[in-house]
């Protein structure tokens, strides 16, 4: 069984355009820059940040989760400009069942450029190689077709819709589930 210390000493992941690293309190201004955008928060479970304090509270939660050695997303830094532009990583990790759920958010100015799919592929590789996962899950609201494309580009397959699965922003919401199995990921790497 992989060590929970993976998230205490969360390694930095590097892709062509991104550095995925631990979030820190110093990231508050960058987080606020994207998290205050109502369009970024539109399909998430959280409300847009109304102040820098909201972003600091989020980051304090991230730092505490790392210290408790819990799964928590990486901050995504765009290498070309050095700005933290979003998060991508594990929200839930069921060690006994060798599965985890991924979540992500991205600053609107970077939408449609393939950056999130790039980050997601790196996070998936980490899950299968370092966390010894057999199954990686992600979900989205049915109307969030951009998120579907991200998951599909990363090799995930749509499993179906769970009706009124969550209560979010004042109402029950359907959720579209996607997953990728270890054997599918290994097979895709052979081609």
Domains of the chain (ranges, CATH numbers): 5-190 (3.40.630.30)
3-state SS, residue 23: coil
Residue 172 confidence (pLDDT) = 95
Query: C-alpha 175: how far from its chain's center?
Result: 16
Residue 7 confidence (pLDDT) = 67
Residue 4 confidence (pLDDT) = 56
- Say whether pTM exceeds 0.75: yes
- Cβ-based burial of 12 (10 A; exposed 0-12, middle 13-18, buried ≥19): exposed
Residue 110 confidence (pLDDT) = 95
Residue 1 confidence (pLDDT) = 40
In angstroms, the CA 179 to CA 5 distance is 25
Q: Are 132 and 98 in contact (CB under 8 A)?
A: yes
Residues of the chain with pLDDT under 50: 1-2
């Amino acid at each position: 069984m992989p060590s929970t210390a993976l998230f205490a000493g969360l390694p930095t992941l590097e892709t062509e355009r991104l550095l995925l690293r631990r979030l820190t309190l110093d990231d508050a201004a960058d987080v606020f820059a994207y998290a205050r955008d109502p369009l970024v928060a539109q399909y998430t479970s959280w409300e847009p940040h109304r102040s820098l304090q909201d972003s600091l509270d989020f980051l304090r939660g991230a730092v505490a989760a790392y210290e408790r050695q819990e799964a928590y997303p990486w901050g995504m830094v765009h290498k070309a400009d050095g700005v933290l532009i979003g998060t991508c990583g594990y929200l839930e990790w069921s060690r006994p069942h060798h599965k985890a759920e991924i979540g992500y958010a991205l600053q609107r100015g970077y939408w449609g450029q393939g950056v999130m799919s790039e980050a997601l592929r790196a996070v998936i590789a980490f899950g299968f190689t370092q966390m010894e996962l057999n199954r990686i899950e992600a979900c989205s609201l049915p109307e969030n077709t951009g998120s579907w494309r991200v998951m599909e580009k990363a090799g995930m397959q749509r499993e179906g819709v769970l009706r009124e699965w969550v209560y979010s922003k004042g109402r029950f919401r359907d959720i579209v589930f996607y997953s990728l199995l270890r054997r599918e990921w290994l097979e895709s790497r052979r081609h």
